[in-house]
Structure 1
Amino acid sequence: MLMAKLMNLVSKMPINPLIGAAGVSAVPMAARVANKVGLESNPHNFLLMHAMGPNVAGVIGSAVAAGVMIKYLG
């Protein structure tokens, strides 16, 4: 949340912090929660497909981190 606020200060286009909240590896639940919270705030705010990008990136990041841990600890 704080990183999104900092990025909003320095960027020209505002960044929705809900998109970053979907970056955890809980596919597709985190994206659905981000979409639901966005819809409660604004009924015309459809974030599901935008939230799936960070969601999938979180899964890939978790797999890479697991591979690095297995390599060094295994």
Structure 2
Amino acid sequence: MAELEHTLSASELHEWLEYYEMEPFHADRSEVQLATMSHMMNAFMGGSAKATDFMLTYKEKKKDSLSGLAAKVKAIFGGGKNG
């Protein structure tokens, strides 16, 4: 670990984090495979669950709407108050 701290730059670590987001490592792939199989079994038995319902680490990325983004900006900067 000490060698890694000396040889891995911050930018390279950032690149690895981006790569991990695009290409999950082994544990995440296994979770996706097991969730897919569970989803198929659930559907076979008449269930309506999604594959993501069987995943522990699933992160749904929420996209802000334009009105939601405008509300956040107004909250940060005081809602357009003069002063």
TM-score category (smaller protein): 0.3 to 0.5
TM-score for both structures, normalised by structure 1: 0.35
Bigger radius of gyration among the two: 2
Higher relative helix content: 1
Q: Which has the higher contact order (CA 8 A, sep 6+)?
A: 1
